[in-house]
Structure 1
Amino acid sequence: MKLAILSRNSKLYSTRRLVEAARTRGHTVRVLDPLRCYMRIASDGFSMHYKGKPISGYDAVIPRIGASITRYGTAVLRQFELMGSHTPNPSDAILRARDKLRAHQLLAAQGIGMPITVFGDNPDDTVDLLSMLGPPPHVIKLNEGTQGAGVMLTEKPSASRSVVEALRGLYANFVVQEFIGEAQGADLRCFVVGDRVVAAMRRQAPEGDFRSNLHRGGVAESVLASTDEVDVALRAARVLGLSVAGVDLIRSSRGPLVLEVNSTPGLEGIEQACGEDVAGAIIADIAGHLLAAGKFNQ
């Protein structure tokens, strides 16, 4: 298999592990900086150059596209798709997952549990908008924040109004959600690859914080996800069109609730916490897809 990994930094843990897993299995792999890829788009066909030379013929492309380059990165990925390359996470699926509001709408439409979410635009509607959600605490999230950045907890109605008004003054896109107190600052990251949850870890927020992200000082441990949790994680990834996803859940009195579906989940935390070869599972799943489709001979 001829494989490309779209990543701005070949030294990142996740990128290095995918390269290692691919080469260990006998595949050819190259890391491409998506910002150095440039495209020719015409009715007679699609082509791509990279650092002055044409590139083509990749059986598969693994996107490791950061949030800051979502627009250009997904355009590059879409060009690869139009040139015939397979990807576990298509460009449109990444765009669906990156937009928290859109993702919540799509998941809720399929009956997937999540914290109640409200969204509005006009400042005159702020009080009524918050009344639709219920009393605080409220969780306010920037629509395209990552790794716990841009997530705030407000404990009084006045605080919620103040934060909402401040964010509107900055023309920020955000959603407001109910706070699930019984989760006690913990969530569950289910790592989906294809039709399986290959690893799961429980992340606990540090004392004094409610965000369990490892980049925010959270502590992770391997756990066995329940049947319901596995089912919800697989359904959430499927609804958004992702074959590789980190689905973040919280355990609540009304069952597992989806907090977020990450289209570019990091491998370091989950592999170290669970001792699983997640990178190898991703490569094996891509190879299996191509073999089933008759796209390459192993």
Structure 2
Amino acid sequence: MKLAILSRNPRLYSTRRLVEAGRQRGHVVRVLDPLRCYMRIDAGRFDLRYKGRTLSGFDAVIPRIGASVTRYGTAVLRQFELMGCHTPNPSDAILRARDKLRAHQLLAAHGIDLPATVFGDNPDDTADLLALLGAPPHVIKLNEGSQGAGVMLTEKLSASQSVVEALRGLYASFVVQEFVEEAQGADLRCFVVGERVVAAMRRQAPEGDFRSNLHRGGQAAAATATAEQAAVAVRAAATLGLAVAGVDLIGSARGPLVLEVNSTPGLEGIEQVSGVDIAGAIVELVACGAVNRKHSGRRAAP
């Protein structure tokens, strides 16, 4: 198999591990910076070039597209798809996951539980919007934030109103959610590959914070997802159309709640604490999908 990995930095742990896993399994692997890819689009014809050379012959592509390049990165990925390449995470699925509001609406529509969430646009509706959610504490999240950035906890109604007004003044898109106190600053990252959770880790927020992200100082430990947690994680990823995803769950009195579905989950923390070869599992899934695509008669990249 000829495999492309869309990544801006080949030295990143996750990218390096995917390259290693692919080459160990006999595949030809190439890392491509999506911002150096450019394309020509004609009726029924889709071409891609990279640093002056034509990109051709790829069977599959693994996207490692950062949030800051979502729009262009997904356009490049879509071009690969139109050229017949298999991908575990299609461009439209990544766009669904990156938009927190859209993702929450889709998950809720499929009966997947998550913290109660409100969203509004007009400043005149702020008081009623917050009343619709209930009494603070409130969690306010930027709609396209990642790694815990742009997530705030407000403990008083006046603070919630002030933050909402400030964000509206910046024309930022955000959602407001209930604060689930019984989670006690911990969540469970379930790494979904295909139709199963291949690894899980429990993350605990540092003292004085409620965000458990490792980039924010959270501590991680190996964990085993229960059958209920694993089922919720797999359903959440499938609902958004992702075959590879990091699904963050928190415990609550009403069962596991989905906090977020990450379409480009990092491998470093969870591989280190779990000891699982997640990169290998991803490559094997992608190779199987590429083979099935060829056998189904769909054209691979020219």
TM-score (norm 2): 0.97
In 2, the alpha carbon distance for the partners of 1:98 and 1:127 equals 27
Distance in 2 (alpha carbons) for counterparts of 1:200 and 1:81: 30
2:58 aligned residue = 58
Note the C-alpha offset of 1:56: 1.3
Residue number in structure 2 paired with 1:264: 264
Which amino acid is 1:193 matched to? V
Deviations for 1:28-70, whole angstroms, at most 9, x for unmatched residues? Answer: 0000000000000000400000000101111000000000000
Is the Cα–Cα contact under 8 Å of residues 245 and 265 in structure 2 kept in the other structure? yes
Query: Kindly, what percent of the aligned residue pairs are identical?
Result: 77
Counterpart-to-counterpart distance in 1, 2:230 and 2:186: 17
Partners in 1 of 2:208 and 2:61 — Cα distance?
Answer: 41
RMSD of aligned residue pairs (Cα, Å): 0.9
Name the counterpart of 2:292.
Answer: 292
Report how far residue 267 of structure 1 moved: 0.2
| SS of corresponding position for 2:11 | coil
Aligned twin of 1:170: 170
Instruction: Decide which moves more: 286-295 or 254-263.
Output: 286-295
Match of 2:46 in 1: 46
1:22-171 alignment, distance < 5 Å: 22-171=22-171
Residues 86 and 293, structure 2, Cα contact 8 Å, conserved in 1: no
SS at match of 1:232: helix
What SS is found at the alignment partner of 1:212? coil
Q: Partners in 2 of 1:292 and 1:75 — Cα distance?
A: 24
* Structure 2 residues without counterparts, runs of 5 or longer: none
Paired position in structure 2 for 1:221 = 221
Q: CA deviation at 1:290?
A: 2.3
Runs of 4+ in 1 over 2 A off after TM superposition: 290-296
Within the alignment, does 1:281 sit opposite 2:264 as a pair? no
Shift of 1:226: 0.6
Q: CA deviation at 1:121?
A: 0.5
Identify the residue that residue 238 of structure 1 maps to in structure 2: 238
2:183 counterpart residue number: 183
2:190 and 2:233 in contact (8 A); partners too: yes
Q: What amino acid sits opposite 1:232 in the alignment?
A: V
- How far apart in 2 are the matches of 1:291 and 1:79? 20
Which deviations, in whole Å up to 9, do the C-alpha atoms of 1:213-249 show, x marking residues without a partner?
0000000011110111001000000000000000000
Report how far residue 273 of structure 1 moved: 1.0
Q: Which amino acid aligns with 1:255?
A: G
Structure 2 letter corresponding to 1:39: M
Q: Calculate the TM-score normalised by the size of structure 1.
A: 0.98
**SS at structure 1 position matched to 2:201:** strand
Q: What CA distance in whole angstroms lies between the structure 1 residues aligned with 2:228 and 2:261?
A: 17
**Separation (CA, whole Å) in 1 of partners of 2:147 and 2:261:** 12
Q: Which amino acid in the other structure matches residue 132 of structure 1?
A: L
1:107-151 deviation digits (Å, cap 9, x = unpaired): 000000000000000000000000000000000000000000000
Local SS of the residue matching 1:255 = coil
Aligned-pair CA distance for 1:291: 2.7
How far apart are the structure 2 equivalents of 1:136 and 1:44?
54
Larger RCO (CA under 8 A, 6+ residues apart): 2
2:193 alignment partner AA: V
CA distance in 2, matches of 1:174, 1:294: 42
SS of 2:258 mapped into structure 1: strand
> Shift of the alpha carbon at 1:289?
1.8
Secondary structure of 1:252's aligned partner: coil
1:287 Cα offset (Å): 1.2
In the alignment, the residues of structure 2 paired with residue 19 and residue 290 of structure 1 have an alpha-carbon distance, to the nearest angstrom, of 17
Tell me how far apart the structure 1 counterparts of residues 178 and 66 of structure 2 sit (CA, whole Å).
27
Q: Unmatched 5+ residue regions in structure 1?
A: none
What one-letter code is carried by the residue in structure 2 that aligns with 1:100? Answer: K
